Amino acid sequence: MSDNGAKIALITGGTAGFGAATARRFVREGWKVVITGRREQRLGQLQDELGGADVVHAITLDMRDRAAVEQALGDLPPAFRDVDVLVNNAGLALGIEPAWGCDMDEWETMVDTNIKGVLYATRTLLPAMVERNRGHIINLGSVAGNYAYPGGNVYMGTKAFVKQFSLGLRADLYGKPIRVTNVEPGLSESEFSVVRYRGDQEKADSLYEGKSPLTPDDIAECIYWAASLPPHVNINRIEVMPVTQSFAGLHAKPTE
């Protein structure tokens, strides 16, 4: 909480999709936010849109750079230092090929961003939450951490890690008033698929076509809801899908 009583949320990956929508949702409720991302211009635009530097502290940051994350999040300006909610949102999928055809660099990028980035941010901010005896860590898992689909291989593995890490944090924090939530969305329209398809907008659009996918605002609503419940309530997991999606998917096909 800041000196003027406003609560503070730190949202990684605030330049697009869920992160930007979440920043808007929290600011609308009177919170101050710290947003991070690699695209400086986007951070500046969102900062301007949401009321400027008194309300939004923007940090240009690559979550894979451990020293940079530790430095930036470990040394926040006083007005943004007492983070009430950390939203570990920055992440990505790269590719949808079967495991034997994947690019090892892309696998490493997913592990470094989706797993290590979450670890760096959490490990940097958690001690102060424990010291203050207040806080909430909200991680972006995925239905991909719960169910398997072809081509999901390493991306699914990273999100399964995030789910289990969330449970582990909750186990470690048992007895302390610090909350942990894993938000596990299904098909949601954002830049996620353009990134996954390596810039192929047409392919990304066709994935969502006619399916009424979730929107970033839907996910921001889930995140804000978990954060705004009374302090004695911990939402462990939120799994959310569009009505058009299902986990029913066991198939059998002839061997080639």
In the three-class reduction of DSSP (H, G, I as helix; E, B as strand; rest coil), residue 113 is classed as: helix
Site for ligand 8X3 in 106-145 (CB under 6 A): 142-144
Separation of alpha carbons 57 and 36, rounded Å: 9
Q: Phi/psi of residue 206, each to 5°?
A: -70, -25
CB of 108 to ligand 8X3, least distance (A): 18
The DSSP symbol for 112 reads: I
Q: Residue 227's binding partner, choosing from ligand NDP, ligand 8X3, none, with beta-carbon cut-off 5 to 8 A by kind?
A: none
State the residue number with the nearest CB to ligand 8X3: 142
Residues 175 and 229 sit within 8 Å (Cβ to Cβ): no
Nearer to ligand 8X3, 15 or 158 (CB): 158
Amino acid making up residue 250? L
CB of 143 to ligand 8X3, least distance (A): 5
CB of 147 to ligand 8X3, least distance (A): 8
Q: Phi/psi of residue 182, each to 5°?
A: -110, 120
Site for ligand 8X3 in 172-231 (CB under 6 A): 186-187
Residues contacting residue 28 through CB under 8 Å, at least 6 positions apart? none
Catalytically active residues, by annotation: 155
Closest by CA to 159, choosing from 147, 175, 142, is 142
Separation of alpha carbons 79 and 93, rounded Å: 34
Torsion of CA 185, 215, 88, 155, to 10 degrees: 50
Q: Residue 95's binding partner, choosing from ligand NDP, ligand 8X3, none, with beta-carbon cut-off 5 to 8 A by kind?
A: none
Separation of alpha carbons 82 and 85, rounded Å: 9
CB of 28 to ligand 8X3, least distance (A): 25
Residues contacting residue 164 through CB under 8 Å, at least 6 positions apart? none
CB of 153 to ligand 8X3, least distance (A): 11
Q: Residue 130's binding partner, choosing from ligand NDP, ligand 8X3, none, with beta-carbon cut-off 5 to 8 A by kind?
A: none
Nearer to ligand NDP, 19 or 152 (CB): 19
Nearer to ligand 8X3, 14 or 17 (CB): 17
Nearer to ligand 8X3, 232 or 251 (CB): 251
Q: Residue 197's binding partner, choosing from ligand NDP, ligand 8X3, none, with beta-carbon cut-off 5 to 8 A by kind?
A: none
Separation of alpha carbons 18 and 124, rounded Å: 22
Residues in touch with ligand NDP (CB under 6 A): 13-19, 37-39, 42, 61-64, 89-92, 113, 140, 142, 185, 187-188, 190-192, 195, 216
Q: Residue 94's binding partner, choosing from ligand NDP, ligand 8X3, none, with beta-carbon cut-off 5 to 8 A by kind?
A: none
Residues that bind ligand 8X3 (CB under 6 A): 142-144, 152, 186-187
